[in-house]
């Protein structure tokens, strides 16, 4: 059976950096990339979004900027979008786990920002939360292209707090101490799980 590792973290927590460290050794499924793929290439997803967010669909794919504007500050529209996307993302994650098992992979990493919020922790044998202090996360996020204070605040409000996420996780990796320290933690875990 394939060992399923879930990794989660708040926006700009360092989760993606830690996930890339693991991905050098084991297959990696990125929920955000799955969503981007669905919005750009999955005809069924695009058709469903067109029914609810017609202005966001152009030329057979979803304009993510327009979709973001359509759901901004509207919890009902966000919920509708999640009802379309989350089951498809979950299905892709489950298929990836089955593929990894059939290929006799020792492990697979599921990189899911809303892991607990979507119930995806049920798929995992172990869950890692990547954590950083909120002021550091804000600084990191605001350095990103196209990030606004409003967008940042909206994203943080959708996620569990760091304390809640860390309390539910099996392992917490702090990303505020530096990449070298974080890399040592990742390498230690890979050795413990006999994946190194």
pLDDT per position as a tens digit, 104-163: 999 999 999 999 999 999 999 999 999 999 999 999 999 998 899 988 998 898 899 999
For residue 105, what pLDDT is reported?
97
Number of folded domains in the chain?
2
Residue 32 resides in a domain: no
Q: Which residues contact 71 (CB under 8 A, 6 or more apart)?
A: 53, 77, 78, 81
Segments forming the whole domain that contains residue 191: 1-27+106-196
For residue 99, what pLDDT is reported?
97
2 and 42 both lie in a single domain: no
pLDDT per position as a tens digit, 25-84: 999 999 999 999 999 999 999 999 999 999 999 988 999 999 999 998 888 999 999 999
Tell me how far the alpha carbon of residue 81 is from its chain's centroid.
16
96 and 173 both lie in a single domain: no
19 and 112 both lie in a single domain: yes
- The model carries a pTM of 0.93
Which of 104, 124, 145 terminates a domain? The answer is 104
86 and 111 both lie in a single domain: no
Residue 175 resides in a domain: yes
For residue 145, what pLDDT is reported?
86
Q: What phi and psi values does residue 182 have, to the nearest 5 degrees? A: -60, -45
22 and 61 both lie in a single domain: no
């Amino acid at each position: 059976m394939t060992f399923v590792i879930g990794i989660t973290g708040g926006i700009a927590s360092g989760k993606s950096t830690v996930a890339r460290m693991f991905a050098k050794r084991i297959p990696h499924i990125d929920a955000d990339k799955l969503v981007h793929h669905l919005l750009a290439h999955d005809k069924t997803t695009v058709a469903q979004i067109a029914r609810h967010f017609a202005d966001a669909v152009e030329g057979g794919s979803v304009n993510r900027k327009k979709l973001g504007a359509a759901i901004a500050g509207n919890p009902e529209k966000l919920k509708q979008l999640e009802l379309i996307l989350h089951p498809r993302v979950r299905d892709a994650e489950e298929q990836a786990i089955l593929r990894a098992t059939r290929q006799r992979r020792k492990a697979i990493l599921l990189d899911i920002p809303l892991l607990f919020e979507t119930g995806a922790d049920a798929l995992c044998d172990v869950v890692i939360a990547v954590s950083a202090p909120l002021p550091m996360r804000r600084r990191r996020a605001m350095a990103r292209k196209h990030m606004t204070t409003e967008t940042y605040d909206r994203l943080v409000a959708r996620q569990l707090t760091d304390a809640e996420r860390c309390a539910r996780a099996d392992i917490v990796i702090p990303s505020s101490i530096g990449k070298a320290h974080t890399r040592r933690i990742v390498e230690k875990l890979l050795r413990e799980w006999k994946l190194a």
